[in-house]
Amino acid sequence: MGYSSNPYAQYYGGQPGMAAGFSPGQVAGQQTGYKMPSFQAAPQDVPGMLPLEQSYVENILRLNRGKLATVYMTFENNREWNAKIFKGIIEAAGRDHLILSDPQTGKRYLLLMVYLDYVTFDEEIEYDYPFGAAPGLSAYPSR
């Protein structure tokens, strides 16, 4: 008959320092008040989908890709221009940036979100509050 390297592993799952039948929150028949922290896995980002239950400017801009927008930005400590307005078609948006293309000049702008004040649209925007059923997100596959 062979013996394992730890004969008590069957009682406490092989964790050193654990008494048989006791969890970290128990001491010989009484609760210590210490609870093991439980963690929920963060939802993973799926390419081509907006994160669920998150309402961020970047996601709203992504929903409105292809629309004409006016973007207002402030650049502190800039002697030439403190505030600037960009008008163009939303091509892409990320956590820290926005890409606009100006249909009049063909110029493309890579704008940093840190400078963003607000955005206006001359048409209705796509936006549904992210909690619960969101029909406006139907272009994106469900998780």
Segments making up each domain of the chain, as ranges: 1-32, 57-123
**Strand ranges for 24-67 from DSSP E:** 26-27, 30-31
Does residue 105 carry a pLDDT above 90?
yes
Kindly report, residue by residue over 11-21, the tens digit of the pLDDT. 665 555 555 55
CATH architecture, domain 57-123: Roll (2.30)
Kindly report, residue by residue over 115-127, the tens digit of the pLDDT. 999 999 999 999 8
pTM above 0.75, yes or no: no
For position 64, what pLDDT does the model report? 96
For position 79, what pLDDT does the model report? 86
Kindly report, residue by residue over 93-102, the tens digit of the pLDDT. 999 999 999 9
d(CA 21, CA 34): 16
For position 28, what pLDDT does the model report? 55
Confidence grade of residue 56 (pLDDT, cut at 50, 70, 90): confident
Lowest mean pLDDT, pick from 8-12, 58-62, 75-79, 97-101: 8-12
For position 81, what pLDDT does the model report? 85
Q: What are phi and psi for residue 83, nearest 5 degrees?
A: -130, 150
